[in-house]
Amino acid sequence: MIFDKIRKQAIAEWATLQQSQQPRILLGTATCGRAAGAMSTLEIMNQELARHNIDAIVTQVGCIGLCYIEPLVDIVKPNRPRICYSSVTPKIIPQLIEDYLIKDNPRPDLALGTIGDGTIEGIPRLLDLPMLKPQVRIVLRNCGHINPEDIKQYIANDGYIGFIKAINMGPERVLGEIKKSELRGRGGAGFPTGQKWEFCRRSPGKEKYIICNADEGDPGAFMNRALLESDPHSVLEGMLIGAYTIGATHGYIYCRAEYPLAIERLSIALNQMREYGLLGDNILGANFSFDMEIKEGAGAFICGEETALMASIEGKRGMPRPRPPFPAVSGLWGKPTNINNAETWANVALILQKGSEWYDGFGSQTSKGTKTFALVGKIERTGLIEVPLGIHLRDIIYEIGGGIADGKQYKAVQTGGPSGGCLPASLLDSPVDYDSLVKAGSMMGSGGMVIADEDTCMVDFARFFLSFSQAESCGKCVPCRIGTHQMFAILERITRGEGKLRDIEQLEQLSQLVKTTSLCGLGQTAPNPVQTTLRYFRDEYEAHINKKKCPSLVCTRLINYYILPGKCAGCMLCLRDCPAKAIVGGRRLVHIISQEKCTKCGACLDVCPERFGAVVKVSGEKVIVPSKPIPVATSKALKNKG
């Protein structure tokens, strides 16, 4: 068979590369790496290599998920384990190249860890590091290790083996395998994938479609982006298997336009598939013809919802419609359609490659396998992680994430984006799986995990999500269009200090109403952030309403900035920096903020040198300040309490 030859060749090339006598350098240039400056690092690296006449093989790879210390550069010298260096700014590059590549000093002080066999004195093994040790990277296995723009590197690492197995097994047995794996959808709701495929396969009709949902609208989540940028073929192989099993003739990848690099790498990947005969007519002689194309989103969160997404592909306004009929019966262009999330598709390829029995070794009783999460917010180590389902929140936040940033106190973890909820410290020992998170009032969602600390106001947080949901509501059904708007207005009122006691009750009623009567998942889940914050952080609502106080010092209307006369050194820094010109004073004169003019931007607090610490932010209290600027010395004598 032709594929055998391709595979043998790819494996041979990969082996030659691994045993190469030239040094090899791998640089992570996914979007997160680029935002941290990876492209400048690359430029300087190429210059330095040329300057020293070093013939190295430089490969751009995807993301291994350690976003907090990017750019990441891995260097492999012959017969040595690969060394991963973190925070490699252009400044460090010349020294690193000279020290390791020329003088053979591996610079353990700059290294993060080693990958592969063998050890190097003074450098730990990468996988032993606390942020990687609890992780199980099976979906992300290739991310950061292979060149995402080279199909042969994917093939050399068992790529498309799953598809080959599938065509040898025949559709019915593949379907059985997926059902046996108990894979559930990774897009949020967790519907059993095998069952969904079966509906579509059994649906009558010659023309059928499959769709990959890569809309990833949840703000604060980037799992699908990282996967598509780092290993696009793992998703595409899954789609190929799905199309073969379901009997689909055409596929679509609906990717949000905010991900230009993912779109670029997907289109490269699709072209390579065509070149290798993995798309088109009579693929690998299996009497199966299939092709797919990319559809770019246009900035509407609701288009992540499956029926809205299909309307969008059809070129219409992205409005959801009631189900049934389900897409498996009548989907895109009225034809049977199967839609899965990008990560679900990647799991499919893996299950076929390794078998459902192997897959059964990961995850919990009701939630099999692993899940990727974007760990962000006020956490020490932000990044993209993959963990077995059933792991406890505490292990994710404290072991992998390294705890709360800047030594602050944990307040909540928000999962599931605008559809999810906020979970307090008392629930940190809950397992992370579909059912436990729903029980706690949240949901797993697609994998955003945002950590909030003591400086996050939970009322403002709820307001933030409702502002998002009401803006993104498509407006088709009344409960969602008007209900979310009403809820947002009430929350806005509370955060401005104009809340009434009845507001809490009204929020609870509206939440129930919007949840039970909305047409689609957006409205049905939009109240979750409000309900969970009311359930777990009610005292914060009450402080805003009863005491006109924002305990976390966030809500602008309820806070004031003051300059402590006993601490102000009269240095003029804040006075000059205040964009509202709200500060009076002079050199060696105590500065005073005019509360009428202050816009509460906080610039004064940012610029006040730490050694003075004269600017304070308070809520619900007053600080006594002089009525006009007085000399600094006299005020010190006054010994203000500050």
Partner 1 sequence: MSLHEQLALVLAPYRGEKGATIPALQAVQKALGYLPEEAISETAKSLCLSENEIYGVATFYAHFRFEKEGEHMVRICSGTACHVRGSPRIVETLEEKLGIHSGETTKDHKFSLERIACFGSCALAPVMVVDKTIYGRMTTTKARQILDEYQDTK
Instruction: Please tell me whether residue 516 adopts helix, strand or coil conformation.
Output: helix
Residue with tokens 């050199």: 587
Instruction: Please tell me whether residue 612 adopts helix, strand or coil conformation.
Output: coil
Quick check: 185 binds ligand FMN (CB under 6 A)?
A: yes
Nearer to ligand FMN, 192 or 277 (CB): 192
Written as one letter, the residue type at 600 is K
Show the binding pattern over residues 474-513: x = contacts partner 1 (CB under 8 A), - = does not. Answer: x---------------------------------------
3 binds, among ligand FES, ligand FMN, partner 1, none (CB under 5 to 8 A by kind): none
CA distance 242 to 247: 8
Residue with tokens 């410290």: 425
Helical H runs in 211-289? 223-230, 232-246, 260-275
Quick check: 314 binds partner 1 (CB under 8 A)?
A: yes
Contacting ligand FMN within 499-538 (CB under 6 A): 520-522
80 binds, among partner 1, ligand FMN, ligand FES, none (CB under 5 to 8 A by kind): none
Tell me the C-alpha to C-alpha distance, in Å, between residue 532 and each of 207, 313, 549: 44, 34, 21
Instruction: Please tell me whether residue 112 adopts helix, strand or coil conformation.
Output: strand
CA distance 212 to 228: 11
CA distance 548 to 492: 13
Question: Residue 163: which H helix or E strand, with range?
Answer: helix 161-169
**Comparing C-alpha atoms, which of 343, 359, 410, 418 is closest to residue 380?**
410
CA distance 253 to 506: 41
The region of 215-223, 373-381, 538-546, 593-601 touching ligand FMN under the rule CB under 6 A is: 215-223
Quick check: 606 binds partner 1 (CB under 8 A)?
A: yes
Quick check: 609 binds ligand FES (CB under 6 A)?
A: no
Write the DSSP assignment of 61-128 as a string of letters: E---S-GGG-S-EEEE-TTS-EEEE-S--TTTHHHHIIIIIIT----TTTEEEEESSS-BTTB-BGGG
Quick check: 186 binds ligand FMN (CB under 6 A)?
A: yes
Contacting ligand FMN within 534-573 (CB under 6 A): none
Quick check: 378 binds partner 1 (CB under 8 A)?
A: yes
Show the binding pattern over residues 193-222: x = contacts partner 1 (CB under 8 A), - = does not. Answer: ------------------------xxxxxx
Nearer to partner 1, 204 or 315 (CB): 315
Instruction: Please tell me whether residue 585 adopts helix, strand or coil conformation.
Output: strand
First to last CA, the chain: 81
Pick the binder of ligand FES from 94, 124, 176, 219 (CB under 6 A).
219
Residue 317 Cβ vs partner 1, minimum distance, rounded to whole Å = 4
Pairing assessment for the beta strands 73-76 and 24-28 based on DSSP bridges: antiparallel
CA distance 363 to 353: 18
Residues 6 or more apart in contact with residue 18 via CB below 8 angstroms: none
Pick the binder of partner 1 from 402, 577, 612, 630 (CB under 8 A).
577
Joined together, the tokens standing for residue 73 give: 């550069």
**Comparing C-alpha atoms, which of 302, 322, 319 is closest to residue 471?**
302
Nearer to ligand FMN, 123 or 522 (CB): 522
The region of 1-9, 111-119, 180-188, 260-268 touching ligand FMN under the rule CB under 6 A is: 180-188
Residue 220 Cβ vs ligand FES, minimum distance, rounded to whole Å = 4
Quick check: 259 binds partner 1 (CB under 8 A)?
A: yes
Pick the binder of partner 1 from 201, 208, 225, 549 (CB under 8 A).
225
Residue 375 Cβ vs partner 1, minimum distance, rounded to whole Å = 9
Is residue 369 within 8 Å of 354, Cβ to Cβ?
no
CA distance 204 to 152: 37
Joined together, the tokens standing for residue 509 give: 């009623």
555 binds, among partner 1, ligand FMN, ligand FES, none (CB under 5 to 8 A by kind): none
Quick check: 220 binds ligand FES (CB under 6 A)?
A: yes
The region of 104-112, 132-140, 164-172, 457-465 touching partner 1 under the rule CB under 8 A is: 457-465
Contacting ligand FES within 507-566 (CB under 6 A): none
Written as one letter, the residue type at 518 is S
Enumerate binding residues for ligand FMN (CB under 6 A): 185-189, 191, 213, 215-217, 302, 304-306, 339-341, 344, 446, 520-522
Enumerate binding residues for ligand FES (CB under 6 A): 219-220
Enumerate binding residues for partner 1 (CB under 8 A): 31-32, 34-36, 67-68, 70, 217-222, 225, 257-259, 295-296, 298-301, 312-318, 374, 376-378, 382-383, 414, 417, 448, 450-452, 456, 461, 464-465, 468, 474, 556, 577, 579-580, 599, 601-603, 606-607
